[in-house]
Each structure stands twice: as C-alpha cells, then as structure tokens.
Chains A and B, each alone.
Chain A
Amino acid sequence: MMKLLPGALIALSLAVPAAAKDKAPVFVETAAVKDKPAIGLDLAKAYVMLRSDIAVPLYLMKIPTADDQTNYDKFRADALAKAHGKYVKKQAEYDAAVKEKAKAPKGATLPPLPDKPFEPTEANFDFTPFPLLAGVSIGPINRFAKVDGGLSTYLQELTPGEYRIYGPLAVAPGGGAMGSCFCMGSVAFAAKAGEIVDLGVIAAKANLQVKRPEGDSSAPVMLDGPFLVPAGSSVAIDPRLANARVVPAKFRPVGKLPNYFGLTINRIPPIPGVMRYDRDRIVDLTAGN
C-alpha cells in the first residue's frame, strides 16, 4: 500500500522519537582514525579504508543483524505504546469536550473542539527507520593520510557488521546533509572485527564533478565511470598499517532506499561480477561467485 500520510501523522511520527531520545539503542559506534604518527587498532572493532583523489564524504548504513532488528523492533514498539498512551489521553479529553458541547444549552459560548486525535497503530506508525539510527559518516575531513598530489586515505573505526554504501554525502550532527544518495541501487560489504576492509579508490576528480549542460538548470548528474575502483596491490598502503590485516571489500548488491535526507538521488554505477541494472531493476551478478 502506498504510504500517504496525513500531516497529523507525520507530526506525530516526528514528535515520538524526540521524546524517546534517551532510550535510543546504539547500533553503531564509530570514529575516524586520526592522522597521528603511531596508531593502535582495536581488534574488537572493524575498520573501513577508503582512498580518493580529492576529499570526499561517504555515508554508510549498517544492515541490521537479527539482534539489531530485535532491539529496533522493541524500541519502535515502546515508542508506539507511548504514543498510543498519549493518544488515549487526548481522545478522552476530546470525548469529554464533545460531551460538554452536547450538554451545553443552545446558544452557550464554548471553546472550540480540539482536533480529533489520530490513533497510532502498528500499521500506520511511521517511526524513524533503522538506517537512520545506524549511519556512519566518513570524510570529507579527518583524513588519516594525505600524499601530496596523490591520494587521501580515510580510515574509519566502526562496529563490526555489514554496511551499505548510502552515497557520497555528509550529514551534519545537527541535521542537514550535502551530496547525493545511492537511493536507487547500491552495494553492501562486510566489515569484520580485527580487519581493515578496503573499499577501494574513489576517482572523484573524474567522476564526481558537476557537468551541467549550458541552459539546463535541472540536468541530473550521471556517474558514467566506476564509482569505486579496487585498489589492488599497485596502490600503496600507508606504512602505519603495515601490520594490519587489510582485505578488499567483497560487494553484494542492495536495493532501493528512500531519500532520507532530501538530497539529489542517484545509484552506484554497475560493477562487473557484482551488479548491473535492467532499467531500474537491480540484477545480482554474485550468484556464481
């Protein structure tokens, strides 16, 4: 069914998470590894490495484990129960006001009836979706390394798990975002404890520049080259990571997601052996891998 929510419901859904703020479960703990002469990696954590020819942002979203899903479902159920409790109170007030009005003598001046409350239910309760509680912002600042005229390296510590590339975008802590989402198709990869998973290299200079045709104010920006190129052994790894276990990311395709931050939309370009598109349908090429 199409989700077409009345304004009241949207307002409700916005209000509930704010009220329950303190109880939000932590699905992802993450921090950029800073550029220091010596670094220590935590074997209980996973690390994501990304290299790029200019400073870039990349936004990841954790794919829920069974435990994550259970915790999220409980979080949502608690918020729904709380919202429903408020609704019951408001409905009682509303019913009382209606009764009062019915009893009042004709012509009596009464305050206007409050708006009829909207009952939140399991089906219509539009709660903050899991991906928005499990985001990881990499870059564009906090580079781990920068070679003059060469590549920037980002190294991000995070909770082990599987992550989806949501897009080349940055989200400010207080809200607001910049960039584009890969809302119409992307890839996910596993980040394991004690390992650095190497996402590869973003050739941003060649692929992420705005090339808008003259006279067209609204031309979409299409990515016509690969977004991430496997680094391979020809791209050197920072010497401080010499003893770390670095593994190339193994990607699998993942489907569409809403445009959570209200940005321009896009999709990750096809990756041979991983995914391609048939119009907007995503074809999984990993079956034989």
Chain B
Amino acid sequence: MRMHGLAAVAAMIALPFGAVPAAAQEKAVYLTDSVSPFGVSTVTNADAQSETMPKLAYTSDGTEASDFDKYYAFHRADTDFATAYGDISECDNYARGLQSGIGDAQVPYPYAGTMAGALGGAIGSAVAMAVFGSAEKRRLRRVNMRTCMNFKGYDRYGLPKALWDDFNFEEGLSGVNDTKRQHYLKLQALVASSGNLQGKVLGL
C-alpha cells in the first residue's frame, strides 16, 4: 500500500471538488425523474379559494420556542398554492411509510444478502415501532418532512402548538384518513405559499 488507506481517503475528501468552474458545469439538463415519484398533483391554484388561511399570529410567552422542533410551518417566497401543495404532498408521501404497497415489515419476496446490523443514522419504522412505538414514528415523520421541504428550498418557522394543531397532524401507529390528510395538506400549502409567518427562520 503506497499510502495508508484512511489517510488517502482524507486527502481525497480534501480535494477541491467544488473548484470545477460553475460555467463548465452549467449544462442544466434536468432529469425527467426529478419529479415526484408519487405522481403529479391535480390540485390547482383555484383550489386555494376554498381554503381559509389558518391563524398564524401569536404573542410570544417566551416558552414556545422549546417545542419548535415539533411545531412549525413551512414557507417559500414566490411559490404558488398548487406548487406548494405538490411539494408538501410529495414530502408527505415520503413521510407516511405505506406508499409503496409494502407494509412496514413486509417484503413479499426473500432478499438475498445479509442480516441487518444496527448501523446508520436512523432506524427503520418497523424496528422503531417495535422498540419505541408511536413517538418514534411521529419523530421520523417530522425528520422526513423537514428534510424533504429543506431540499425543496422552504424555510421553517416555529409555531405555538395551539396554532399548529389547527392545520397539522401527527402520525404514529394509527394513520390519518385521506380526507383529513388532504384538507390539512391544503392548509399547509396555503401557509407555505402565502402565509405570514412570524419569528425567525429556523433553518433545517
């Protein structure tokens, strides 16, 4: 070995990958499957008219910020209702866990390969449910919504739980029915596109 493996890796990570001139990279060919893998939303901007903007203004009592990891709303400037709905709906699908027709612990055919070890930054929902139950599943939902909406360029603002409850839902071991889900997702899209959220941007 000419160079110790780890040292070599460290050296390679330090290479200025970002140094490739932007102009040389700028052939913005978007992948067609960059779009949602769950299909195209049929919700239009006109659908916003049948929704009422939730109450977002509040007077801080100085304590609500400690729960902003759980209670928040997203917003992105220059985004219309239909776009926001499509984005939130896509993120919701990554976060709801049953979208593929495969149950949390169900893989219908045997997989070649090895038994899992307890590695990685997160744990699967089947294991999570067995070990931590509903609270862990609710947490994983928040993690996925925050990740996905961050990738999509939305900012996150904290809300007191009482206001948050009016247009959001948590999803633990029991699911949320589709009628209620669609209604809440539309309200969230309304906030994300045209809500006036107060306080500072929380970031990721």
Contact = CB atoms under 8 A, between A and B. Distances in A.
Contact of A53 (B6, B32, B89, B116): B6
A256 interface: yes
B116 A178 contact: yes
Interface class of chain B by DSSP? loop
A2 B89 contact: yes
A232 to B, nearest CB: 7
Interface string B104-116: 1111111111111
26 contacts: A2-B38, A14-B102, A17-B108, A32-B114, A129-B101, A136-B113, A170-B115, A170-B119, A173-B110, A175-B106, A176-B127, A177-B116, A183-B37, A208-B121, A221-B121, A221-B122, A222-B204, A233-B2, A235-B3, A255-B33, A256-B33, A259-B95, A259-B144, A266-B147, A279-B151, A284-B29
Given A57-B117, A259-B97, A132 B4 contact: no
Interface in B112-136: 112-127
A160 interface: no
Contacts of A180: 120-122
A219 B103 CA distance: 25
Contact of A173 (B20, B111, B139): B111
B interface bracket (residues with beta carbon within 8 Å of A): 35 or more
A263 B152 CA distance: 19
Contact of A287 (B17, B18, B29): B29
A153 to B, nearest CB: 10
Interface stretch (B39-47, B52-60, B161-169, B188-196): B39-47
A234 B2 contact: yes
Nearest to B12: A229
B151 A280 contact: yes
A116 B130 CA distance: 34
Pairs of residues from A and B, 3 with the lowest C-beta to C-beta distance, nearest first: A255-B33, A137-B113, A179-B120
Given A1-B42, A236-B2, A263 B115 contact: no
B3 A234 contact: yes
B15 to A, nearest CB: 9
B151 A267 contact: yes
